[in-house]
Every structure is written in C-alpha cells, then in structure tokens.
Amino acid sequence: MEQCACVERELEKVLHRFVMYGHQSEERLDELLRSVCEIRAQLVAFGVQDADLSVLSQNMAQCCKNIKETVQMLASRHKDIHGSVSKVGKAIDRNFDAEISAVVAETVWDTPERQKYLSESIVEHLYRQGMLSVAEDLCQESGVVIDMSMKQPFLELNRILEALRMQDLRPALEWAVSNRQRLLELNSSLEFKLHRLYFISLLSGGIGNQMDALQYARHFQPFASHHQRDIQILMGSLVYLRHGIENSPYRSLLETNQWAEICNIFTRDACALLGLSVESPLSVSFASGCMALPVLMNIKQVIEQRQCSGVWTHKDELPIEIDLGKKCWYHSVFACPILRQQTSESNPPMKLICGHVISRDALNKLTNAGKLKCPYCPMEQNPSHAKQIYF
C-alpha cells in the first residue's frame, strides 16, 4: 500500500498543476480577448482617422506583445507539467516490479481444460458486469460454449440493476413479488425496502402526490409485524408534505445514497437465490492476487539474497501464510470432529497452529490452565493463537 500511496502523491501533484494551469490559462486568455475586443470596438467606432492612428498603433503593439508573452508563458508552464508527468512514470517504475514471472507457475494454464476454466470465469464475470456483447465475442473466439440457462439469470439481473440505476423500481418490485416466498425464507427485507423507496419517491413529488402516497401505503400491510417502526416514520412524514419533506425532521428520507444501497441489497439477495456469490470469482481472485503479490515478491527477493533457493521449490505452494483479510476468508460448512456438531456463527470453526480445525466450543472445553493440546497431534499450544475460519 505504501507503493500505491507514493504514486498517488505524485499523481495528485500533476493533477493540481493541471488544474492551476487551466485556471491561469483561462484568466490570461480572457484578458487578451477583452483587449482585442476593445481595439476592435475602437476601430469600428472611430474608423481610421489620422488623429487616432498613433494611439491605436500603440494599443495594437501592446496587445501583440501581451499575446506573445502569454503564449511563451503557457508553453513554459506546459513544459513543466510534462516534467511532472514523467515523474509519475518514474514513481511507478521505482515502486512496482514489472517482472513478476519469478513468483508465477509457468504451467498453471498449460492444459486446455484449465484454459477453458479461465475463459468461463472471464465470461461469467462479463455477464455479471452487464458486458453481454463482449462476453459473446469472447465465447466465439475462445470456443467456450455457455448454456443459456446460465446466461439467462445474468440477463435479468443486469436488466433490473440498470433500471434501478435509472431510479426505476418497477422491474425490481415485479421480481421481488414473484420471488416473495423464497426471499422470506432468506429473511430478506428487499421487497419492503423497494416499497419504502417507491413511497419516498412519491413523497419527494410534493403535496400533489399525497393521495397516491396514501393509497400506496397499503403495500406496507404485509410487513407491519417486522417493520412497524419504519412504517410509522413513513406515515408520520405525510404531516409535513405540504411544507416539503426536505424542510422537516424527516429530511433524511430523501438521502440519495439509498439508491446505491438498494442496488447492493438486490444484488446480494438475487445472487443468494441463484446460488451465486455476490462478487464474481474472477474479481475475488484478482483482488487476492494483488494483496499477495507484494509479499511474494519480497519473499523471493529475501530467498535470493540469502541463497536459500531450496526453501521455495514448488510454486503451487506458498512458503508462508498470507493474510488476505476477513473479506477473502471462505470455507464450506464444517462439522466439528470432536463434538460431532455443525459449526455456526456463534460457534465458528477455529484453526489451530498445527493446522487442525475444531469448533470454538471444543477449543474451550479442551483448554486447561491456559494451554491446549491438539487432539490429533501431540503439539501443545496457546488457545489464543487459534484463528477463526469464515465460511
């Protein structure tokens, strides 16, 4: 991250100079334009009388001199900006390694089957991003055949998301109503939040939408038991509709970030119904690689300096554990081998130093006098060193 910060600082300097250059250029050009317009107005008003020629000649000479000085000044400052831009390139070369083949397995994509998996991951990512035409071109050029049953959910997902970005709630509401039972099984509040946002859009229309808002409030009836407080706030805002919601204690209802939030909620719940992760596997893999790559490059450099080439001989295995953060921790459903029960959020799986995994309840029961002996190997360890596994 420090490398990125260094490059970002250089980039901010360049952007600042560009902004200042633009403002100064506009000011000087506006001054010159006014001077030329004044001289032109004098020529039109007085003609070319002998008494005015000397004065006009001096004014025109001064104007030409100012134009020449301005052009030279702008050219000089533009040249300085070029120097700042080159510093950004040097900062990138200084802080980042262009050659990463030393930590990459050359045979990772050497079989047609692996290349097929990679192409399918890229195509799925493109479908998720709504780049349908690009995905189709990639399928044709790579020979990847994608089943229509896999493609169709992404088409519908992107159609609804595009409508939400245009602040059109109707497609999302139709989808939520048609999948109401499945959403309830997920304890999802998507349908209520869509109705809430539609109600708020009516409120933002002013007193003219009062009757429409009252009639639409009937949609809240199925959600009264779980969202009573939210519904009370929405109905209370009607009192201030005549004076404007933006001038009332309910002005927070009009916050614009609600549209981005509803897009995220819809994506999360729709992917859950489809059995998909919220983020594409390609983007998760790319983000993980970006976090791991600097560490691997440093390790490789240390190994070469200390001439310990035998430490890391297999590039499909990492020499050390790299912490990618909780966001990148994944695990399948796990049953504790000690207590014979499935783990949960309140009783998550815990990885011991030796690599064996047990549940937190088992960890607590096996701890004695601040020490823990692994039930699968004789290694004695501190239970506080166990790491939670996320799934």
DSSP 8-state class, residue 315: T
- Helix (H, G, I), strand (E, B), or coil: what is residue 218? helix
Spell out the domain ranges in the chain. 1-95, 151-274, 280-308, 335-388
CATH class of domain segment(s) 335-388: alpha beta
- Chain centroid offset of residue 366 CA: 42
Long-range contacts of 271-274 (CB under 8 A, 24+ apart): 271/157, 272/186, 272/188, 273/179, 273/182, 273/183, 273/186, 274/153, 274/157
> pLDDT by residue (tens digit) across 236-276?
888 888 888 888 888 888 888 888 899 988 988 888 887 77
CA distance 64 to 241: 62
Asked if residue 58 has pLDDT above 60, the reply is yes
> pLDDT by residue (tens digit) across 275-310?
777 788 888 888 888 888 888 888 777 777 777 666
Report the candidate in 184, 177, 158, 167 with the shortest Cα–Cα distance to residue 258.
Answer: 167
Q: Is the separation of the CB atoms in 39 and 56 below 8 Å?
A: yes
Take residue 281 and report the two structure tokens written for it: 């596997």
- Helix (H, G, I), strand (E, B), or coil: what is residue 368? strand
Mean pLDDT (whole number) for 148-172: 85
Structure confidence at residue 309 (pLDDT): 62
Beta bridge partners of 183: none
Please report the DSSP string for 26-47 in residue order.
HHHHHHHHHHHHHHHHHHHHHT
Mean pLDDT for the chain?
Answer: 82
Whose structure tokens read 């998507």?
190
Report the candidate in 304, 293, 282, 300 with the shortest Cα–Cα distance to residue 4.
Answer: 293
pTM of the full structure:
0.55
